[in-house]
Structure 1
Amino acid sequence: MIISGHQPVYLPWLGLWHKLYLCDTFVYMDTVQYLENDWNNRNRIRTPQGLLWLTAPLDRRNTGGKALNQIRLLTPEAGKQGKWQEKHWQSIRRNYRRAPYFDWYAKDLEEMYLGKTWENLVEICFAQFTLFSSWLGLKRTIVRMSQFKFDGSKDRFVLDHALKLGGKGVVFGAQGINYVRPEIFSKKKVKIYFQNYRHPTYRQTFAGFQEGCSVLDLLVNHGPKSTAILLGQNISRTRLRQGGLWHSEAEKRK
């Protein structure tokens, strides 16, 4: 069994779904520390002028800690900034309403943004993760870290995921190579793989192509073909399981 995972991110990019596709069990790391100016509470959509950031504003006054599941969001009672849900929905609708498959997803998206007030960052991120996974047809076992006891830090923390969940291999993001020690995994007979995601070029709503949008950009433009497009230039589950691509201690020492 292959394990992977990621911290909650808002309107996730394409590479996260390739990690989900590769694994059998995905650890949703909702208790790791919030990262300033990262992707936890923001991402980008496409507009005629280029890329537009959509950022869910934090309620720092009422946030009681640094863990992601403790991060609270501004609500309408906070005034103009607290009306971000309506603003984000209007930005999505305005820029994507002419996309070929926008109508396929519009009802669920509108309900997400206008049908509920989100007070906790992790909960809207998890709702998006669940919804987009279903749209992409990626059904995996999901373990929320807040509901499971894992020990250690950094690479030992991830190794503990594998050991407690019965994983024989772990898929890391590309940055994992900077902190993971292959020897501690090999001692436990757990293989590791560092993802090298190749971003596809695809038709967008507006002229030209801009990389790095939320997966929502791909979905509204390509609908049921989106999964094949985001996976197309990347390693498949079958290829990974055939072996020969797992990282070794020797490679780390080079």
Structure 2
Amino acid sequence: MKVLIHPTYFPSISHWVVIAHHQGKLVIEAKDNYQKQTYRNRTYIYSPNAKQLLTVPIVHTKTTGRQKYNQVTIEESFDWKKQHWKSIETAYRTSPYFEFYEDELEPFFKKEHQCLFQMNLESMEIIAQCMQLEPFTYELTDEFLLNHQDKLDKRSLVNAKTKQEYSFDSYVQVFDDKHGFIPNLSILDLLFNEGPNSLNYLLNVDLNQIP
């Protein structure tokens, strides 16, 4: 069965568990309305001070009615990407695989993007390439439907307010001696710490854990 998800900014590990288990059967929701306080424009990394939020600033429109997610533009009046990359470097410079993936990821943070939806798709494509999850293929929805009878609907993973507890197997994190293991961060955390084993880690997670 195909699976339906929202594209998010360097998605969480739970997002990638779903993606890894449905290679070649991925459908991206492309016709929904934008909603605030979701992972559409945010992700969490493991910083020296524990969990750190990285937020993509967007341009807020003054028009009435809801704005389509695929029409949301990114605020580029200040260099927030430079700030994000600096935070990522601070968090993961000493991780086992940061230098291994640095050259593939850094250009993303120096590139100009206008559309949040497209930028998020690009972040996912880069991660898939790093994990050698190839070919990374997906379909885009052509209309918004509340219910999909023919797809496994995992769009709820985009909700940042949902406090879901995950019993993922622990792996060594840079600052776990200070703050312990923090599960379900951005896929960047897994990638920098587990490197080529990241895809195997995702495939070994029981899909039933993901609501």
TM-score bracket, normalised by the shorter chain, equals 0.7 to 0.9
- SS at 1:8 equivalent: coil
- The within-5 A match list for 1:135-146 is 135-138=130-133, 139-145=135-141
Distance in 1 (CA, whole Å) between partners of 2:18 and 2:44 is: 20
> Of 101, 125, 130, which residue of structure 1 is paired with 2:125?
130
Q: In the alignment, what sits opposite 1:191?
A: none
Q: In the alignment, what sits opposite 1:173?
A: 154
Q: CA 1:108 to 1:63, structure 2 compared with 1: closer, same or farther past 3 Å? A: farther
Residue pair 2:18, 2:207 contacting (<8 A) in 1 also: no
Say yes or no: does 1:154 pair with 2:146. Answer: yes
- SS at 1:15 equivalent: helix
Q: In the alignment, what sits opposite 1:8?
A: 7
Structure 1 residue 144, shift from structure 2 partner:
2.1
1:155-188 deviation per Cα after TM superposition (whole angstroms, max 9, x unaligned): 1xx23xx4xxxxxxx3333959xxxxxxxxxxxx
Q: In the alignment, what sits opposite 2:169?
A: 200
Distance in 2 (CA, whole Å) between partners of 1:124 and 1:113 is: 11
Q: Which runs of 5+ in 1 are unaligned?
A: 163-169, 177-195, 237-254
Q: CA 1:63 to 1:85, structure 2 compared with 1: closer, same or farther past 3 Å? A: farther
Residue pair 1:198, 1:233 contacting (<8 A) in 2 also: no
Q: In the alignment, what sits opposite 2:71?
A: 70
Between the aligned residues of both structures, percent identity stands at 26
Q: In the alignment, what sits opposite 2:162?
A: none
Q: TM-score, normalised by structure 1?
A: 0.70
The runs of at least 4 aligned residues of structure 1 exceeding 6 Å deviation read none
Q: In the alignment, what sits opposite 1:20?
A: 19
Q: CA 1:175 to 1:84, structure 2 compared with 1: closer, same or farther past 3 Å? A: closer
- The within-5 A match list for 1:105-116 is 105-114=101-110, 116=111
Q: CA 1:70 to 1:63, structure 2 compared with 1: closer, same or farther past 3 Å? A: farther
Structure 1 residue 93, shift from structure 2 partner:
1.1
Distance in 1 (CA, whole Å) between partners of 2:85 and 2:6 is: 23
Higher helix share: 1
Residue pair 2:10, 2:123 contacting (<8 A) in 1 also: yes
- SS at 1:154 equivalent: coil
Q: CA RMSD in A?
A: 2.5
Q: CA 1:27 to 1:92, structure 2 compared with 1: closer, same or farther past 3 Å? A: same
Q: CA 1:63 to 1:223, structure 2 compared with 1: closer, same or farther past 3 Å? A: farther
Q: Which runs of 5+ in 2 are unaligned?
A: 158-164
Say yes or no: does 1:217 pair with 2:186. Answer: no
Distance in 1 (CA, whole Å) between partners of 2:8 and 2:69 is: 10
Q: In the alignment, what sits opposite 1:241?
A: none
What is the count of residue pairs matched by the alignment?
A: 195
Q: TM-score, normalised by structure 2?
A: 0.83
Residue pair 2:21, 2:203 contacting (<8 A) in 1 also: no
Q: Which is greater in Rg? A: 1
Say yes or no: does 1:102 pair with 2:101. Answer: no
